[in-house]
Structure 1
């Protein structure tokens, strides 16, 4: 059989005939001759890359920094006592009591406090610049309260309804409180950024009781990062607690040392919410400069 007919059978009658090579050695460069290297790691080809060396073995190197997973956010929604962490400063505890104030009573209390408390917008200072808090507040207590380099003056005369609520919270918690910070979140755009209630005037491992009236808002917590993370909060534990109308939340133990909390902005319809945070204020230590921290934290508007 002629070469032409054989090529048509093998490649198909549509295949083009290969052009004749002027160089008699062309097309045979894959066949080693006596002048080619005998190195087993050398491969030569006619496609123009020259001699290519391949590695004899693959060596695996362990990454110097292990990959870490971002922990999923946990939710606390049911009534109960929760130990959210053990260390480094001790045991951090939350006590959640939904429905602490019954619905009808909570409705009446919310309307009365919204109308009768002396709400105002506090001006704070950060890095030498002033800003207005994105919420309204008022303060009750025999001692002033300083945070974010701004002081709220003492106000010893409490609203009668607040006195009643303080007694109820003290009876339930077993704690005593001499001060109260009231917060009014007018809508979903009002908020408070990440912070810890760790001012020196609050003392060591303070207990803080938070009573919510009005629309539900998400109370978020995040663990302080490890020293080796250099302030990176990417891989810390996080908790979300929906605080509904009439709910009481107590933060105890090392919660202010080892955790931060916030109420973030919510850009969908949210009605007003009143948050009453009962706490105990101590006289400021001698030599203490108002606005400084007893422990490191970050304060944001």
Structure 2
């Protein structure tokens, strides 16, 4: 009798444990879709590396495109039209260019123009002279027209018009005296120049790099960091023509440099269409 009672107590204890553990074991779902609990083999799925594209696109600042060979170059196309450069190295032969430079350096009535910028008045870091039929206003100050063209300037204008088939009635002369003389980023897009103006730029003297940058799209909010750029080394005697939408879609400059540079003269021929004020 005692043996029966003892066996009953042992069986009852195991039965109780089995009844409890049947409900407390966790349920795990694996790739087979079958639930696993206590009393089943626990399968651990293999870990695999999954490549994910970076959430932020890494942008690279583009290298400038260097244009130094003769030819016609379409540098961009937009709703404004095609921006085009035409380069004529050695448009003026070196020996001819030397005496032309000396004559222009001595005989043009150079002066330093005062402008007005965001920080107030300042003097341009170069000397200039304006020839034409009407005054020329930029950077909040006006250059009075000099209608008496130097004979050499008239001869150069005629030669450029013959080669390019364009006509010009105005000329801005620039004298860069040394490496610290410069002109900052800008476009030649004043209203008096009309839509898509043609600018013919003829250089004498020291080589300076003419830099261009494309205006950024609206979503860039004026940030020029990632825009296209063009560099054109302008040797003495080189003629550069800017056509089409270049002034609408691009800016240009001649930056300061930090090593000795001899003087340079740049002549920029253009056509003025005076705006009638009512």
TM-score relative to the length of structure 1: 0.75
Return the index of the structure with the highest Cα Rg: 2
Secondary structure, in 3 states, of the residue corresponding to 1:168? helix
Question: 1:275 Cα shift?
Answer: 0.1
Q: Which runs of 4+ in 1 moved over 6 A?
A: 37-40, 56-61
Question: 1:67 Cα shift?
Answer: 2.5
Distance, in Å, in 1 between the alignment partners of 2:51 and 2:141 is 57
The alignment of Structure 1 onto Structure 2 pairs a total of residues equal to 236
Distance, in Å, in 2 between the alignment partners of 1:266 and 1:73 is 18
Distance, in Å, in 2 between the alignment partners of 1:102 and 1:260 is 29
What is aligned with 1:161?
152
Question: 1:66 Cα shift?
Answer: 2.6
Does 1:174 find its partner at 2:202? no
What is aligned with 2:214?
223
What is aligned with 2:33?
none
Residue among 108, 116, 121 paired with 2:112: 121
What is aligned with 2:35?
none
Distance, in Å, in 2 between the alignment partners of 1:64 and 1:151 is 51
Does 1:149 find its partner at 2:140? yes
Q: After the TM superposition, which residues 168-247 of structure 1 pair with which residues of structure 2 at under 5 Å, given as runs? A: 168-247=159-238
Q: After the TM superposition, which residues 267-282 of structure 1 pair with which residues of structure 2 at under 5 Å, given as runs? A: 267-282=258-273
- Of residues 124-133 and 200-209 in structure 1, the stretch that sits farther from structure 2 once superposed is 124-133
Residue among 84, 88, 108 paired with 1:93: 84
Matched-pair contact (CA < 8 Å) for 1:88–1:258: no
What is aligned with 2:240?
249
Seen in structure 2, the aligned counterparts of structure 1 residues 39 and 77 have a Cα distance that, compared at 3 Å, is farther
What is aligned with 1:107?
98
Question: 1:230 Cα shift?
Answer: 0.4
Could you report, residue by residue, the CA deviation over 1:120-163 in whole angstroms, capped at 9, with x for unpaired residues? 00000012610000000000001000000010011111001000
Secondary structure, in 3 states, of the residue corresponding to 1:282? coil
Seen in structure 2, the aligned counterparts of structure 1 residues 235 and 182 have a Cα distance that, compared at 3 Å, is same
Matched-pair contact (CA < 8 Å) for 1:201–1:285: no
Secondary structure, in 3 states, of the residue corresponding to 2:195? coil
Secondary structure, in 3 states, of the residue corresponding to 1:265? coil
Residue among 47, 51, 71 paired with 1:80: 71
What is aligned with 1:292?
none
Distance, in Å, in 2 between the alignment partners of 1:204 and 1:286 is 18
RMSD: 2.0
Matched-pair contact (CA < 8 Å) for 1:90–1:254: yes
Question: 1:59 Cα shift?
Answer: 8.3
